[in-house]
Structure 1
């Protein structure tokens, strides 16, 4: 029979075990609460830090500057006296969708109208609008009828190396045609295409081509910037003019001067829905790179 002392020891041991168990449970609950509070604090700090980084607490913070759309590279007018300084277009806030209407009035007949493709060539559109707004093209000559079947205009000096005192990179150059084109596949430059042309290639300025024939080179190099919408018959008439040597051995200079009396560019508008394909050979929608 257990003695009184043994029972007291067992009771004391049981009491101690209960105390230890309660203490362990209390410690676990305290740790859980601390962990929960810590996680909440960390989450709150993350949220506050993100809000601060985004300027939620900075009343004086200026809005982020608009990113540049185009880069205008300065050209040395001292090294090329055929360049004409009329300033440079803006670099930000330029439209990158829709079209700009362009009208070319020559001494060869009715006006030639075109659409500049702002989605495919926003910098070309901005440049031509800037130059047109400063009468850069007015009373200049289209100095070449090229072997590729295009009228070359936009050089006030008529030398082929003139332009503004800035240049910009190629945009919207078509992909090379397939080795075996599919039947009915459009050429890289359909009749009516408007494209930039530069000397040297890639340093675009003010000169452009208006194609009066389809042109499908193995390696396209001219950035497409728009399409003729009216007066293509005038372009074809000019393209049929006889040509003479331009002084370099190339028989590309129109025998009769072709003068651009005025070139204007309108405000940007939304691009119209593509028209059904026609049989005239003129592009039926705003050109884009293939």
Structure 2
């Protein structure tokens, strides 16, 4: 569904290979409209889902589920073990061409998400991949985690959201991109300035102040096209993700 220009959301999407996309809305009110199944013509997106659906019930029993999805893996990786090993807060670092990003992962609140992220990092899934999307209007995020650099790549499996409905997205938030309820894969986004989003995106960690500023400095240079949504003008390549840094 197309909206008048003043009503279109500034969207951040994860594009599954089936080409069904989720719109991340610029304003919470607009997001609630868009997330009922209409898309923004600015990015040819469609959306599905409602806040708070899917809470990784398996994690409550100490296990997680990572079923295969319809898309082939962008890199050859194995699905994570169903039993998370990490607990509490986990320190890690994302080494990028723009500088290192120090992150703290919430393995207590989002065990299945952190379990997947750590598994992909250990298998070097993120190594030598470009952050493919920067949004500088309405919402303020840098999106990464797709080895194809197209917004359509994933690890070949999906897993459930870990939400309680109270999620917010201030500067320094690390959260999962998705294509609807319970469709998490490998793509994630970093929030470099406070952003209004519905609580539909699993928040699984935070960046420290210096790392958030590093991303904000990238964003200050804009997108390669000069639009408010596109590939970052300064290419950002993830070189490695290490744990315990």
Normalised TM-score (structure 2): 0.67
- Determine whether 1:172 maps to 2:163: yes
Q: String of CA shifts for 1:259-288, please: whole Å, max 9, x gaps.
A: 111112239xxxxxxxxxxxxxxxxxxxxx
Q: Does structure 2 retain, via aligned residues, the 8 Å contact 1:145–1:152?
A: yes
By percentage of residues, which structure has more helix? 1
The 10-residue stretch of structure 1 (219-228 or 230-239) with the greater mean CA deviation from structure 2: 230-239
Q: Does 1:69 align with 2:27?
A: no
User: Aligned partners of 1:108, 1:93: CA distance in 2, in Å?
Assistant: 31
The residue that corresponds to 1:121 in the other structure is: 110
**In 2, Cα distance between the equivalents of 1:233 and 1:98?**
25
Match of 2:202 among 223, 227, 246: 223
The answer for the alignment partner of 1:254 in structure 2 is 232
Q: Is the contact between residue 141 and residue 155 of structure 1 (CA under 8 Å) also seen in structure 2? A: yes
Structure 1 residues without counterparts, runs of 5 or longer: 1-66, 177-187, 268-290
CA contact (8 A) 2:174 2:190 kept: yes
Residue equivalent to 2:215 = 235
Matched, 1:132 2:121: yes
Label 1:113 to 1:93 Cα distance change in 2 as closer, same or farther (>3 A): closer
Change (3 A) 1:93 1:120: closer
**C-alpha distance 83-215 of structure 1, shift in aligned 2 (>3 A):** same
Q: Distance in 2 between matches of 1:124 and 1:145?
A: 22
Q: Any gaps of 5 or more consecutive residues in structure 2?
A: 1-60
**Residues of 2 paired with 1:201 and 1:159: CA distance?**
21
What's 1:102 paired with?
A: 92
Q: 2 CA distance for matches of 1:225 and 1:243?
A: 26
Consecutive aligned runs of 4 or more in structure 1 exceeding 6 Å deviation: none
Higher RCO (C-alpha 8 Å, min separation 6): 2
Q: What does the per-residue CA deviation read over 1:29-66, in whole Å, with 9 as the maximum and x for residues that have no partner?
A: xxxxxxxxxxxxxxxxxxxxxxxxxxxxxxxxxxxxxx
Larger Rg: 1
Match of 2:243 among 255, 265, 268: 265
Alignment CA distance shift 1:202-1:239 (3 Å): farther
The aligned residue for residue 196 of structure 1 is 176
**Matched residues in 1 for 2:132 and 2:66: separation?**
25
Instruction: State the TM-score, normalizing by the size of structure 1.
Output: 0.57
Displacement of 1:189 in angstroms is 0.8
Change (3 A) 1:215 1:250: closer
> Once the 2 structures are TM-superposed, how far is the Cα of residue 235 of structure 1 from its aligned partner?
1.1
Deviations 1:58-82 (A, max 9, x none): xxxxxxxxx5521101123xxx356
Cα distance between partner residues in 2 of 1:235 and 1:191: 10
Number of residue pairs the alignment of both structures matches: 182
Residue 112 of structure 2 aligns to a residue in which SS?
A: helix
Structure 2 Cα separation of the partners of residues 118 and 71 of structure 1: 16
| RMSD after superposition | 2.4
